[in-house]
Chain A
Amino acid sequence: MSDIKKEKKIVTFKWNDQEIQAEEGSNLLKAALDHGIEVAHYCYHPGLSVSGVCRMCMVEQIGDKAPPRPYPSCNATVSEGIHVRNDTPKVTSAVQSTLEFHLVNHPLDCTICDQAGECKLQEYYMEHGAYDSSMVDKKVHKEKVQDIGRNVMLDAERCILCSRCVRFTAEITKTHELGILNRGDHAEITAIEPLKNDYAANVVDICPVGALTSKDFRFNQRVWFLEDLETTCLGCVTGCSVKISQNHNGAFRVRPREDQEVNGYWMCDEGREIYKHLSSLGRLQFPLKNNSGLFIPTESEQFLSTLPRPMAIILSTHLTVEEYEAIFHLIPEDQVYFYRLPEEGPEFDSLLKRSDKNANRLGLEKSYYKAYNNVLNWTTKDCSLAGAKEKLNSVKSCFIVVPEFLPHFIKAKNNFENFLHSLPKECLKIALAYDDLFQGINHCDYLLPVPTFAEKDGTFFNFKEQARTLKKGIVYSQQAQSVPDYLALITKTTNNSKGFSHAAQ
């Protein structure tokens, strides 16, 4: 995650028959993995210190200065001209025998283990193992099904003691909740105290086997039924790169993607919740009208063409840059307002999370300036503040874009309901929402379904003003249309590009 680019010498070395160029002194295993070579390994992780305990990444060096026997490549550095091989008979038999040692006490849990399908033991067995087991003796038993807090389940028996999780809690979060008790084959991972840090779910990702699993995801799906959607988290301005595992039945989990400029290899626990609203039962499938507390389906084109003027739109800060540009193209500046989420938590928790939850604020400010040639003045435009709200007193119909992830923001949840309540009673409130689960829904007269962040392509700018993309995944609401599309419908019906300000012809 370092921004400093050191000038290091690039040297060439050989792995099997492939020539690789890498920085001198960098980790040998990492150089090989980065160039697409498949090397079996468990305990090495590029974001953690080198541990060298699994003994799987063995290589044999060829040449006259070579050490006498194979050594683990994770503890070696790149230097000019070395030639290492991991396809010699010595190494392949070493890998197979080490894999056998890993499996000797491993329980037969594949059927009930969530890691099946992405388990490194399974993968390496199919590739390097494929032997007949000679273990007919009693296996060592340890405590299973332990809830160690923060949505993490520990199964000590499945653990292969690679110590990745221990190193994570020691080096990354520096909270030291996990440790290894006992020695020998009675050694087991344990939670010295229940997990309390905000990044605890990362240990589930880095565990190569099913010892640490997510309570949230537990038994919901088999991973081979899932596809990964590479997108970005909109939980705060940091904008970590994530991937959402989903299929036509729904979205099931979020995992971080490697992004050295933003989040390295990790993400915070709050961001893990961002998949829940994608396929929830509350997703709006068609436009709804509030009929004295009961919401009934309606036609959007009909009522959109007969809305009373003047109109205003209150946008959230989660739309993409493309959507903002389209909206600002359609609507004059004096009718555009925003709902800015209040800050939550410390400004920066020294790892990833930031208090500014308005994910695309910087992108919004950029598009605003580009469209209106004015710097966005939050005091006059932010409807969560009293000053801006006064301006809405004369508005007759108002589009409100419901912020995404609203239920996750503790302060904002109630704040938003109060905001909706405080809008003038005569004003027709049309909420552009993705589900009907937000508080204050009863104050709205119409609900229009919009796509979530995982159902549209787009760009947004993170806290460092770097562009990050959202990708369109599986759509869970067929009739959802984006905000610009609805606004385009209005301008279409009025035959006027600035249709908001003029009455219907």
Chain B
Amino acid sequence: MNSNLQPNFNYVLLSHHHIPNVQEIEVYEQAEGYSAFKKSLSLTPDFIKEEVKASGLRGRGGAGFPTGIKWGFFSKDREAKKYLLCNADESEPGTFKDRFLVEKNPHLLIEGMLISAWALGTQKGYIYIRGEFYHQAKILEKAITQAYQKGYLGKNILGKDFSFDLYVHRGAGAYICGEETGMISSLEGKKGQPKLKPPFPAIKGYRGYPTMVNNVESLAAVPWIISFGAARYRQWGTEKSPGTKLFSISGDVKKAGVIEVPLGTPLKNIIEDHCGGMREAPLKAVIPGGSSAPILTAEQAYKVKMDYEDVASYGSMLGSGAIIVLDQTRSIAEILKWTLEFYHHESCGQCTPCREGTGWMEKIAKRRPSVEKTSTPEEVMDLLNRVAQNMRGQTICALAAAAAMPTQGILKAFPEEMKAYFGNLKS
């Protein structure tokens, strides 16, 4: 047997990525594909939920909430209409791991969703993929068609009293549709605006029915956990952040891309070993978890370990695991302006602090002093900090906080550079 066609189960998510044409169902099946699903059909749903809970798998979309506990909130009534939604919107700047997962190995996601649907008792599932991923959506649709043909989807799957229908739904270019209730609104055909919580989607979600929303990576990790058990999953990572994670690294490194490493790997190792080190100039700053994560200085970056707790201890967040590496040639002020421009563009406009705050912050950051301008750089930075602070905790969804945290992070981590920027603005 050609070992090239066999999966490498030292990886949880990228186990099949070296196999050519693994998006074809026959190739996947030959590489032990769907065996975890077949195994799970002989296990009880409660056992599967317990296993996922014991593994300590945390939501990989950015929030990091333990998936098993989230599943525990879900209704256990198997007769009731319920939905399983996979969040493949992946709009957080810097993140491209879900795309990498789905375009090479779509069947892993389908298998993960099947096992989750069996465990949760959901009858229908939707994969909400961002509109820009046209190519990836087509790959997924083709894989789903193949799965239907082989009897893995549809009615009475593999002869059991279990039916699951899976659809792919493309978004249309809104970051806010990656927020779970925004995604549900968009799926319902309405404007992609987040809903008030409570009621939570697990109680009242898509069309008023209980809905479970999980990230692509979280669902794709489930087959491995079922195949090999929670204890083995815990061999990687730390006590509170077990398992492996996909990190999408971009920026001024020699080899950018997606890697899968255990949680708790020092960032230094990631940059120097996996990415071949800095390209030319030395390191200046790292954004560890997508643009919403507060920036880390070079000094902090060389000390931090990539797990949820350690990154949080430096005042930042692991988020989606999108690492953006910045070298000395980068201007932090430009990063700030770009970040604020993004959030201003993407705010849905529903609630006032975010709608007005994102626009205002962008204007402040891009201020040009007029002839009568009297504000000192310190005053401008104070104002920006105050506006950012006022946006947090007041809004329907977390976009406002996602815009405020990097602003405050940059002002805190690079005060001298920002002061110089605001002081030197040419009129």
Encoded as 1 (CB less than 8 Å from any B CB) or 0, chain A from 79 to 119 comes to 00000000000000110011011101100000000000000
CB B342 to nearest CB in A, in angstroms, measures: 11
Q: CB-nearest residue of chain B relative to A162?
A: B352
Q: CB-nearest residue of chain B relative to A179?
A: B191
Q: Is the CB of A97 within 8 A of B390?
A: yes
Q: CB-nearest residue of chain A relative to B393?
A: A69
Encoded as 1 (CB less than 8 Å from any A CB) or 0, chain B from 379 to 391 comes to 0000100000011
Encoded as 1 (CB less than 8 Å from any A CB) or 0, chain B from 339 to 371 comes to 000001111111111011111100110010000
Q: Which of A130-138, A306-314, A428-436, A447-455 contacts B (4 or more CB under 8 A)?
A: A130-138
Q: Is the CB of B393 within 8 A of A101?
A: no
Q: Take A53-B350, A184-B348 as given contacts and tell me if A137 and B363 are in contact as well, using a CB distance cutoff of 8 Å.
A: yes
Q: CB-nearest residue of chain A relative to B353?
A: A101
Q: Is the CB of B355 within 8 A of A184?
A: yes
Q: Take A52-B196, A58-B394, A94-B394 as given contacts and tell me if A140 and B352 are in contact as well, using a CB distance cutoff of 8 Å.
A: no
Contact of A100 among B344, B359, B390 (CB under 8 A): B390
Chain A, 170-223, CB within 8 A of any chain B CB: 180, 182-187
Q: Is the CB of A55 within 8 A of B351?
A: yes
Contact of A101 among B196, B344, B352 (CB under 8 A): B352
Chain B residues, CB < 8 A from A101: 352-353, 355-357, 360, 390-391
Q: State the CA gap A142–B348 with chains docked (Å).
A: 17
Chain A residues, CB < 8 A from B346: 184
A250, CB-defined interface residue at 8 Å: no
B189, CB-defined interface residue at 8 Å: no
Q: State the CA gap A187–B196 with chains docked (Å).
A: 19
Q: Is the CB of A180 within 8 A of B349?
A: yes
Q: State the CA gap A54–B350 with chains docked (Å).
A: 8
Q: State the CA gap A76–B145 with chains docked (Å).
A: 44
Range, interface on chain A: 20 to 34
A70, CB-defined interface residue at 8 Å: yes
A50, CB-defined interface residue at 8 Å: yes
CB B34 to nearest CB in A, in angstroms, measures: 41
Chain A residues, CB < 8 A from B355: 101, 161, 184-185, 187
B19, CB-defined interface residue at 8 Å: no
B396, CB-defined interface residue at 8 Å: yes
A236, CB-defined interface residue at 8 Å: no
Chain B, 175-233, CB within 8 A of any chain A CB: 176, 191, 196, 198
Chain B residues, CB < 8 A from A183: 174, 176, 347-349
A160, CB-defined interface residue at 8 Å: yes
Q: Is the CB of B396 within 8 A of A185?
A: no
Contact of B360 among A69, A104, A186 (CB under 8 A): A104
Q: Take A53-B352, A137-B367, A185-B347 as given contacts and tell me if A105 and B359 are in contact as well, using a CB distance cutoff of 8 Å.
A: yes
CB B352 to nearest CB in A, in angstroms, measures: 5
Chain A residues, CB < 8 A from B395: 55
Contact of A161 among B176, B344, B352, B364 (CB under 8 A): B352
Chain A residues, CB < 8 A from B357: 101
Q: Is the CB of B351 within 8 A of A75?
A: no
Range, interface on chain B: 20 to 34
Contact of A52 among B363, B383, B390, B396 (CB under 8 A): B396
Encoded as 1 (CB less than 8 Å from any A CB) or 0, chain B from 21 to 64 comes to 00000000000000000000000000000000000000000000
Chain B CB within 10 Å, residue with most, of A52, A69, A183:
A183
Q: Take A97-B390, A185-B359 as given contacts and tell me if A160 and B383 are in contact as well, using a CB distance cutoff of 8 Å.
A: no
Q: State the CA gap A102–B351 with chains docked (Å).
A: 10
Contact of B351 among A53, A70, A100, A180 (CB under 8 A): A53
Encoded as 1 (CB less than 8 Å from any B CB) or 0, chain A from 132 to 161 comes to 001111101000000000000000000011
Contact of B345 among A134, A138, A184 (CB under 8 A): A184
Q: State the CA gap A135–B364 with chains docked (Å).
A: 9
Q: Is the CB of A161 within 8 A of B349?
A: yes
Q: Take A53-B351, A55-B394, A98-B394 as given contacts and tell me if A75 and B356 are in contact as well, using a CB distance cutoff of 8 Å.
A: no
CB A24 to nearest CB in B, in angstroms, measures: 16
Encoded as 1 (CB less than 8 Å from any B CB) or 0, chain A from 21 to 59 comes to 000000000000000000000000000001011110010
Chain B residues, CB < 8 A from A136: 373, 375
Chain B residues, CB < 8 A from A93: 390
Q: Is the CB of A55 within 8 A of B353?
A: yes
Q: State the CA gap A134–B349 with chains docked (Å).
A: 22
Q: State the CA gap A496–B300 with chains docked (Å).
A: 107
Contact of A184 among B344, B391, B394 (CB under 8 A): B344
CB A310 to nearest CB in B, in angstroms, measures: 71
Q: State the CA gap A136–B358 with chains docked (Å).
A: 16
Q: Is the CB of A53 within 8 A of B344?
A: no
Q: CB-nearest residue of chain A relative to B352?
A: A101
Q: CB-nearest residue of chain B relative to A58?
A: B394
Q: CB-nearest residue of chain A relative to B375?
A: A136
Q: State the CA gap A138–B363 with chains docked (Å).
A: 8
Chain A residues, CB < 8 A from B356: 101-102, 104-105, 185
Chain A residues, CB < 8 A from B176: 183
Q: State the CA gap A35–B395 with chains docked (Å).
A: 27
Chain B residues, CB < 8 A from A54: 351-352
CB B53 to nearest CB in A, in angstroms, measures: 23
Q: State the CA gap A8–B49 with chains docked (Å).
A: 38
Q: State the CA gap A55–B352 with chains docked (Å).
A: 7
Q: State the CA gap A380–B7 with chains docked (Å).
A: 98
Chain A, 444-462, CB within 8 A of any chain B CB: none
Chain A CB within 10 Å, residue with most, of B344, B363, B364:
B363
CB B142 to nearest CB in A, in angstroms, measures: 33
Q: Is the CB of B360 within 8 A of A137?
A: yes
CB B362 to nearest CB in A, in angstroms, measures: 9
Encoded as 1 (CB less than 8 Å from any A CB) or 0, chain B from 283 to 317 comes to 00000000000000000000000000000000000
Chain B residues, CB < 8 A from A187: 349, 355
Chain A residues, CB < 8 A from B351: 52-55
CB B198 to nearest CB in A, in angstroms, measures: 7
CB B91 to nearest CB in A, in angstroms, measures: 14
CB A222 to nearest CB in B, in angstroms, measures: 28
Q: CB-nearest residue of chain A relative to B394?
A: A55
Chain B, 318-357, CB within 8 A of any chain A CB: 344-353, 355-357
Contact of A50 among B196, B345, B347, B363 (CB under 8 A): B196
Q: State the CA gap A97–B385 with chains docked (Å).
A: 13
CB A370 to nearest CB in B, in angstroms, measures: 54
Chain B, 363-419, CB within 8 A of any chain A CB: 363-364, 367, 373, 375, 383, 390-391, 393-396
Chain B residues, CB < 8 A from A75: 196, 198
Q: Take A102-B356, A138-B363 as given contacts and tell me if A185 and B390 are in contact as well, using a CB distance cutoff of 8 Å.
A: no
Chain B residues, CB < 8 A from A102: 352, 356
Chain A residues, CB < 8 A from B363: 137-138
Q: Is the CB of B360 within 8 A of A135?
A: yes
Q: State the CA gap A185–B363 with chains docked (Å).
A: 12
Q: Take A104-B356, A184-B355, A185-B356 as given contacts and tell me if A97 and B394 are in contact as well, using a CB distance cutoff of 8 Å.
A: yes
Q: Is the CB of A184 within 8 A of B353?
A: no
Chain A residues, CB < 8 A from B196: 50, 52, 72, 75
CB A78 to nearest CB in B, in angstroms, measures: 14
Chain B residues, CB < 8 A from A98: 352-353, 390, 394
CB B360 to nearest CB in A, in angstroms, measures: 5
Q: State the CA gap A138–B383 with chains docked (Å).
A: 16
Closest 4 CB pairs of A and B: A187-B349, A97-B390, A185-B359, A137-B363
Besides A101-B355, A184-B345, 7 other CB < 8 A contacts?
A: A52-B396, A53-B396, A70-B394, A75-B198, A101-B390, A184-B346, A187-B355
Residues of B in contact with A (beta carbons under 8 Å apart):
174, 176, 191, 196, 198, 344-353, 355-360, 363-364, 367, 373, 375, 383, 390-391, 393-396
Identify 14 residue pairs between A and B in the complex whose beta-carbon atoms are under 8 Å apart, listed by A's number: A50-B196, A53-B350, A55-B353, A55-B395, A58-B394, A70-B393, A98-B352, A100-B390, A102-B352, A134-B383, A183-B349, A184-B359, A185-B356, A187-B355
